[in-house]
Amino acid sequence: MGQCPQTGKPVYLKTGRFGPYVQLGAADDKEKKNASLPKDMAVEEVDLETALKLLALPRTLGAHPENGQPVVAHSGRYGPFIKCGDETRSLPDDVTPLDVSLEQALLLLAQPKAGRGRRAGATKEPLKVFDASPVTSQPVKLLDGRYGPYVTDGQTNASLPKGVAVESVTLESALQLLAERAAKGPAPKRGRR
């Protein structure tokens, strides 16, 4: 692919037993370094700059505002994750350690750690509770779910659009999201494999 500007060593794009990866240094180099490609990254997308970023992982995002410890993005054996002190959280599928922001990492670290075999239906405290919905007469709640924040009126659930901050959600915006979701109809049921 080219040469690393810092070390002058060659950078390769290879395919191994566990999929595509990048390598810094020749095969006989005792100090060669490897880094796997994130699973949603196509081999065609990898250029020298991306390869060098992957090889530079782990990446420090900044200090945690509460404890001052560094928040670091890693790519590990079981996928990408963030770490701060003893706390670790897996990154969602649509976020890579190359593009995760400190803000996203802090949101993930604020969530309770998903224990192994934890029931998906385990209830969490709502992030916000609004007045009752005119549709269901139940309080509208802003919750943090498995796939990110969402609002519910007890009958309909609507995910927050990407880029919408949890703090900016009002009763009006929550009711609008719920109305749009209800208008789409129920989600299609997935068949078992």
Q: What tens digit of pLDDT does each residue of 83-123 get?
A: 998 888 888 877 888 888 898 888 888 887 766 554 444 55
Distance of CA 116 to the CA centre of its chain: 18
pLDDT exceeds 70 at position 172? yes
Percent of the chain topping pLDDT 70: 90
What are the C-alpha distances in Å from 158 to residues 71, 85, 100, 113, 134?
30, 34, 24, 23, 16
3-state secondary structure of 20: strand
Q: What pTM, to 2 d.p., does this model score?
A: 0.50
